[in-house]
Amino acid sequence: MITAILLVPALILDAVLGEPKWLWSHIPHPAVLMGRLIDALDTRLNQGPHQRLKGVATVVALLFIGLFIGFALQTLGAVVTVLTAAILLAQRSLCDHVHAVAEGLQKDLASGRYAVSMIVSRDTADMTTAQVARSAIESGAENLSDGVIAPAFWFLVAGLPGLITYKIINTADSMIGYRTPRHEAFGWAAARLDDVLNWVPARLTSACITLVSLQPKEWSNICRDARKHRSPNAGWPEAAMARLLSVSLAGPRSYDGEMRSFPWVYEAGRKDLTAQDIHHCVMALWKIWGCFLVLTVALALLF
């Protein structure tokens, strides 16, 4: 399988180089360009009647754009394909952002709150130490799926067209896929398609976490806990990570000043989380990445 052979160096390049500031301070990151395109479509089309239909048309346009760019770049050869894939994977940057929360918490609570506000959308101003740590771990688990395993999976399935299409839809979901007065209708298609595209990767991520934890007997409990989550996909990596670290995740949190009562994922786990738990999460993220890399190498050798 050629995509597996090319994915191996892409995974390694991303892990080693991450997001070089010297590069992206001079030219816009592809994710930034995707965001600008989505914002322009949102501004132009998300008004007047038939917002859901316009949202569907927006997603169809994004699909064609992603496929076209992917096919065009792929024709330029293996080097361009590997470099593009490495740029669109996010293992190193994910671990750096989660680790920054632990470093912030070790300084003081205010620094931890600020660091976690960079990676979550919930209210952070009044978070306790445990809430900051829990938020960072949840973000790490969910973004391991969204930012690493899912794009890698779609690269394996369909090369750069699959990866770029996934990334542009996932970016659209993060920008317009919210149940707000402005985006509930217009962002419906982006949110639903993102759920579909993440269905397999979320469960694959959970399986990799379970494999690393060496607790396969916990799989039935992970499946049960994952279904408690409000998201059809995010609960899977969170439930597996909760078991690996023996902590409770999800639970009550505040959005836009409103406290919402979500169920706990692995309620029996420890709830008094600290910066040390975030460090353990980061180490786990690297172990899971290593597990996925080994599986990719095996896939390349097998075919």
**Tens-place pLDDT, residues 136-183:** 999 999 999 999 999 999 999 999 999 999 999 999 999 999 989 999
The model's pTM: 0.95
For all residues of the chain together, what is the average pLDDT? Answer: 95
**Structure tokens of 189?**
């298609």
Q: Where are the domains of the chain?
A: 2-302
Closest-CA residue to 279 (of 129, 159, 117, 100): 100
Asked whether residue 282 carries a pLDDT value surpassing 90, the answer given is yes
**Structure tokens of 303?**
């075919």
Residue ranges in the chain assigned as alpha helix (H): 2-17, 21-24, 30-45, 51-74, 78-88, 91-107, 109-117, 129-144, 150-176, 188-213, 219-226, 235-245, 275-302
pLDDT recorded at residue 33: 96
Closest-CA residue to 113 (of 128, 96, 93, 91): 128
SS3 190: helix
Per-residue pLDDT band at 24 (split at 50, 70, 90): confident
Per-residue pLDDT band at 198 (split at 50, 70, 90): very high
**Structure tokens of 297?**
């190498």
